Amino acid sequence: MRKTDPNVKAKPAIQVIERMFTLIDVLASREDAVSLKEISAKTGLHPSTTHRILNDLATGRFVDRPEAGSYRLGMRLLELGNLVKGRLNVRDAALLPMRELHKLIQQPVNLSMRQGDEIVYIERAFSERSGMQVVRAIGGRAPLHLTSVGKLFLSADDPQRVRAYATRTGLAGHTKNSITQLPMLERELARTKQQGIARDNEELELGVRCMAAGIYDDQSKLVAGLSISAPADRLDEGWLIKLQTTAAEISSALGYKTTA
């Protein structure tokens, strides 16, 4: 069997991607803009090849052109970096409080974030003793309007964005309880905004109900949601205060300060 030398850096299988990474590394090594001539010299790539790849990267905002013939790293990389940083921080802050909440209620506790028109499950605290099959694994996705956390995010949007979401998605349903009409969704979101908590009453899956509370960062921005899932006949309203307290604890760890 052929052995891999751990000292040899792995290379992407597609040549253009390898070249793209090389160009980004050169730009990352300098604080100021770098000329096309210098980039080409440092990478060993022909100027026309360098120019073509950099232009494609500029189209995606991964590279900026402050002036003709010079390049630097673009804002899109900062946006993506902040997105990853935010997810890691939320997960790190939430992990222990989630586990403590699970110990108290013995039902699955989920941490989710918005990504476009869906929520993504990024962490979960659960055990077999909950008596409920875990259907959505970490990394799983679900439509915003069918989930308690998704409703939190939609309730933070202005009415125009909610209507745009409804148009894009068609408000497709998964169960007989799913909200598939915009007026019903708008009423649900108004309740969510007023109460500060959201619910999923067997709208994503029959037999499963959820309640969710928001998690906020140091800029008072909703960055994630904490939810409890339980069999429909076992969701206890007494858990709500514990859920809100745990979400507030996580928000505080992220620098959120409540206003008087």
Tell me the per-residue pLDDT of 63-82, one tens digit each, with 9 for 90 and over: 998 888 899 998 888 888 77
Comparing C-alpha atoms, which of 63, 61, 60, 59 is closest to residue 22? 63
List the alpha helices (DSSP H) in the chain.
Answer: 15-28, 36-43, 47-59, 75-105, 148-155, 159-169, 182-195, 239-253
Domain that holds residue 39: 15-73
Mean pLDDT of 147-165: 97
259: in domain: no
Least confident of 20-24, 55-59, 75-79, 89-93: 75-79
Counting the structural domains of the chain, the total is: 2
Tell me the two tokens of residue 179: 């909200």
Interval 115-123 mean pLDDT: 93
Amino acid 15: pLDDT: 86
User: Residue 68: inside a domain, yes or no?
Assistant: yes
Average pLDDT, the chain: 88
The predicted pLDDT at position 162 comes to 97
Alpha carbon distances (Å) from 15 to 18, 24, 58, 77: 5, 14, 19, 21
Identify the domain boundary among 73, 100, 121: 73
Amino acid at 136: R
> pLDDT for 191-249, tens place per residue?
999 999 999 999 999 999 999 999 999 889 999 999 999 999 889 999 999 999 999 99
- Say yes or no: 195 and 148 in one domain: yes
Instruction: Report whether pLDDT(260) > 60.
Output: no
Residues 57 and 92 in one domain: no
Closest CA to 101 of 93, 89, 110: 110
Q: What is the mean pLDDT of residues 13-26?
A: 86
29, with CB counted inside 10 A (0-12, 13-18, 19+), is: exposed
Structural domain includes residue 201: yes
In a domain, residue 93? The reply is yes
pLDDT for 3 equals 46
Domain boundary among 73, 98, 117: 73
Strands lying side by side in the sheet with 70-73: 34-35, 70-73, 63-64
Secondary structure tally for the chain: helices H, strands E? 8, 9
Q: Indicate if 45 and 159 belong to the same structural domain.
A: no
Please say if the pLDDT value at position 6 is more than 60. Answer: no
3-17, 151-165, 211-225, range with the lowest pLDDT? 3-17
Is residue 76 exposed (0-12), middle (13-18) or buried (19+ Cβ within 10 Å)? middle
- 36 in a domain, yes or no? yes
What are the residues facing 227 on neighbouring strands?
A: 110, 212
CATH number of domain containing 48: 1.10.10.10
